Chain A
Amino acid sequence: MALENQRGLPSDEQIIHDILAPMQRTTWRFWVFSGSLALIVAFGVFCFLFMQIKGFWVTGLSRPNMWALLIASFVFWIGLSHSGTLISAILRLTKAEWRRPVVRAAEAMTLFTIMVAGTFPIMHLGRAWLFYWLLPYPSERMIWPNFRSPLMWDFMAITTYLTGSTMYFYLPLIPDLATVRDRTSGWRKSVYTALTFGWRGSREQWERLERALAILAVTILPVAVSVHTIVSWDFAMAIAPPLWHTTVFGPYFVAGAIYSGLALVITVMAALRWVYGLDTYIRPEHFDKMGKILLTIALIWFYLWWADFLTNWYGRLPDERIALMQYLFGRFWPMSWGMLLFNAILPPICLSFTKFRRSIPAMIVLTFLINVGMYLERVLILVPSLTYKHFPYVWGGYWPSWVEWGIFFGAFAGFTFLYTVFSKLIPVVSIWEVREERLYVTEKRVGKVAFPAVALPMTGQEGGHG
């Protein structure tokens, strides 16, 4: 009824109806899909328990490959978690109007991917039930965590990022939870009332929310960068395996993380649009803009990969050269060339064309391939370097066992399951931010063409919308 706009966006009621619709109707397809995912997750959990009971010999790990699929998966999932909060924070801080239908999906993606990522180091501990030994507390063992170790920094950084991402996800959710609260009854209303912390939408509450979001956006950005930098230091600060001890690893990992995460955000956006019919809100223009960012990141990632490769290749240190040649032309060539095709060759070519960026099926295929390539890249960072360690008599080989495959697929199913359940409990698109767009975005006619125009506060009158 109230906040009218001139651009022809749906009415307030229509927006609420469309976005809350997935929460209000559940078809048999949902139960079949989520049930299938739950079965795969259950198999992954079984594989993990089997590994705990039998020991690591049921995996493909053996000297010298003591880090492989589990750690590659950890790096991959942490990388995926990178972009959601990062892109949301950047778009919020720069007040990019087009961000509105995208941010919730991105923030939720971060939350669920980091939850999945956090399980891998615990699984890799071997004796997972002793994970609490990582916590610093006085005990009869007189053992204290070694804070000089990058693995300990990982623990600190992931904890900070998980906490920060959860809070950054939750705060802007509160106004939407209030909308759900006002449209439910019974026990659901009680639950949503508790979750809204007394939200009424008062002027003070909005101002405090926007101030808090700005602070969180500013703080979460460097945390996001630190997380993946520290993950890279797990490798770069270990001097043993060839190709790891490199100063470019920090930014290279960060760029790779943003790259794969951004690709997943686009895949998730397409899935939400298709499954829940959110065509009015998640539009081709969003894919176009995200595609442009993806193109930039693809080029940055390739630049850093090349800088790393060229330095190692030019240096011609004997053991690094052997590992590098195996990486590119030896037994790992299908993976490395596949990775380069999916990450360095196809994306810049495809994403240079507006028509491609605005084609949602094409973007789904490309972003899926980018993440296949990024997973290969994670494996390639680990396995060739460990397989061809300094001394030929320890050279080995690695192939994942069925247990590792089970955990691998369980992780993907786990993420999808969490996201599917989330879409039934929480609005997948930010209602209040889409409605706010109606206040500020209008159409300006120039000759015969109407362009979207954004109203911004005049200089000296800042301090309004977010």
Chain B
Amino acid sequence: MARLFALFPDLDRTVEAIDALKAQRLEATRIDVLSSVPIPPEAMGLPVTETFNQPRAATGMGVVGSAFGFLLAGVTALMYPLPTGGKPIVAMPTIGVVMYETTMLFAIWTTFFYALWLFKSGRYRGVPEDGRIQGGAIGLLLDLPPDRSRAEFEGALSGALEVRPCD
């Protein structure tokens, strides 16, 4: 897939370019913005991504963590019984404390590692690091449709500091 990278000096010129690209019938899903601060997609006229599974992944692994806590504090206690002062070997209130911690631990691990994995797996892979973006400039990364040429979009990117192919 052909890709085009454009670097803009500010947000206003970036938004103008996005509008121009959309006017040229480039789908919004083919446009990605690289910036040094989070900019709401609505501010750029782009749709909010709704496809993330992060909360579901955290919840699911939290349930797994809960089961792990039960196995650890409940089932293994039966395997290695330790009688103390006539207390029950398996007591649900005390298992509940352990289950609570393992639930949270699994949810936290999942959130963190899933986020790192998502960072790595984005479509910007292969895009060279450009220090100017961390310096405040804004980059646009375009996935061009296979049936259209770069030249068609270069006019829309006229406000850019630099436009270069990015394959």
Judging by beta carbons under 8 Å apart, are B55 and A198 in contact?
no
Contact flag A164-B38 (CB < 8 Å), given A201-B133, A205-B122 = no
Contact flag A3-B134 (CB < 8 Å), given A208-B54, A216-B108 = no
**Residue of B with least CB distance to A435:** B37
Stretch from B19-27, B72-80, B150-158 forming part of the interface with A: B72-80
Judging by beta carbons under 8 Å apart, are B119 and A211 in contact?
no
**Residue of B with least CB distance to A222:** B104
Which residues does chain A contribute within 8 Å of B66, judged by CB atoms?
A: none
Within 8 A of B (CB), among A138-186: 142-144, 146-148, 152-153, 156-157, 159-160, 163-164, 167, 170-171, 174-175, 178-179, 181-183
Q: Is A12 an interface residue (CB 8 A)?
A: yes
Which residues does chain B contribute within 8 Å of A175, judged by CB atoms?
A: 36
**Residue of A with least CB distance to B129:** A182
Judging by beta carbons under 8 Å apart, are A179 and B108 in contact?
no
Quick one: CB contact mask for B92-131 with A, threshold 8 Å, 1 for yes?
0011011011101101110110111011101111010111
- State which of B55, B105, B120 has its C-beta within 8 Å of the C-beta of A160: B105
Which residues does chain A contribute within 8 Å of B91, judged by CB atoms?
A: 148
Judging by beta carbons under 8 Å apart, are A216 and B49 in contact?
no
Judging by beta carbons under 8 Å apart, are A200 and B82 in contact?
no
> Measured between alpha carbons, how far is A238 from B123 in the docked complex, in Å?
56
Judging by beta carbons under 8 Å apart, are B9 and A208 in contact?
no
Judging by beta carbons under 8 Å apart, are A144 and B38 in contact?
no
> Measured between alpha carbons, how far is A465 from B108 in the docked complex, in Å?
22
Quick one: CB contact mask for B6-19 with A, threshold 8 Å, 1 for yes?
00111100000000
> Measured between alpha carbons, how far is A466 from B38 in the docked complex, in Å?
8
Q: Is B142 an interface residue (CB 8 A)?
A: no
Q: Is A16 an interface residue (CB 8 A)?
A: yes
Q: Is B149 an interface residue (CB 8 A)?
A: no
- State which of A142, A153, A216 has its C-beta within 8 Å of the C-beta of B111: A216
Which residues does chain A contribute within 8 Å of B104, judged by CB atoms?
A: 160, 164, 219, 222-223, 226
**How many positions in chain A have a CB within 8 Å of any CB in the partner chain?**
68
Judging by beta carbons under 8 Å apart, are A210 and B108 in contact?
no
B43, chain A: closest CB distance, angstroms: 7
Stretch from A354-362, A413-421, A456-464 forming part of the interface with B: A456-464
Most A-side CB within 10 Å, residue of B58, B98, B101: B101
A432, chain B: closest CB distance, angstroms: 5
Contact flag A204-B82 (CB < 8 Å), given A212-B115, A216-B108, A457-B40 = no
> Measured between alpha carbons, how far is A11 from B119 in the docked complex, in Å?
28
Judging by beta carbons under 8 Å apart, are B100 and A226 in contact?
yes
Judging by beta carbons under 8 Å apart, are B136 and A1 in contact?
yes
Judging by beta carbons under 8 Å apart, are A204 and B122 in contact?
yes
Q: Is A319 an interface residue (CB 8 A)?
A: no
Which residues does chain B contribute within 8 Å of A183, judged by CB atoms?
A: 131, 134
> Measured between alpha carbons, how far is A193 from B131 in the docked complex, in Å?
12
Which residues does chain A contribute within 8 Å of B4, judged by CB atoms?
A: none
Judging by beta carbons under 8 Å apart, are B36 and A212 in contact?
no
**Residue of A with least CB distance to B73:** A147
Q: Is A197 an interface residue (CB 8 A)?
A: yes
- State which of A1, A16, A202, A215 has its C-beta within 8 Å of the C-beta of B122: A202
Which residues does chain B contribute within 8 Å of A157, judged by CB atoms?
A: 101
A167, chain B: closest CB distance, angstroms: 4
Judging by beta carbons under 8 Å apart, are B80 and A230 in contact?
no
> Measured between alpha carbons, how far is A209 from B114 in the docked complex, in Å?
10
Judging by beta carbons under 8 Å apart, are B76 and A136 in contact?
yes
Which residues does chain B contribute within 8 Å of A143, judged by CB atoms?
A: 80
Judging by beta carbons under 8 Å apart, are B42 and A146 in contact?
no
Within 8 A of B (CB), among A26-57: none
> Measured between alpha carbons, how far is A465 from B134 in the docked complex, in Å?
17
Contact flag A457-B42 (CB < 8 Å), given A148-B91, A216-B112 = yes
> Measured between alpha carbons, how far is A230 from B101 in the docked complex, in Å?
11
Judging by beta carbons under 8 Å apart, are A432 and B33 in contact?
no
**Residue of B with least CB distance to A150:** B97
> Measured between alpha carbons, how far is A169 from B86 in the docked complex, in Å?
44
> Measured between alpha carbons, how far is A157 from B97 in the docked complex, in Å?
9
A42, chain B: closest CB distance, angstroms: 34
- State which of A171, A179, A181, A202 has its C-beta within 8 Å of the C-beta of B115: A171
Judging by beta carbons under 8 Å apart, are B135 and A12 in contact?
yes
Judging by beta carbons under 8 Å apart, are A182 and B101 in contact?
no
**Residue of B with least CB distance to A156:** B101
> Measured between alpha carbons, how far is A16 from B32 in the docked complex, in Å?
25
> Measured between alpha carbons, how far is A210 from B48 in the docked complex, in Å?
13
Which residues does chain B contribute within 8 Å of A204, judged by CB atoms?
A: 32, 49, 118, 122-124
Judging by beta carbons under 8 Å apart, are A147 and B52 in contact?
no
> Measured between alpha carbons, how far is A163 from B80 in the docked complex, in Å?
28
Q: List 16 A-B contacts (CB under 8 A).
A: A3-B11, A3-B136, A13-B135, A147-B95, A156-B97, A163-B108, A201-B133, A202-B123, A203-B39, A203-B41, A207-B41, A209-B38, A219-B108, A222-B104, A435-B37, A457-B40
Known: A142-B80, A152-B98. 5 other contacts (CB 8 A): A148-B77, A182-B133, A183-B131, A202-B124, A204-B122
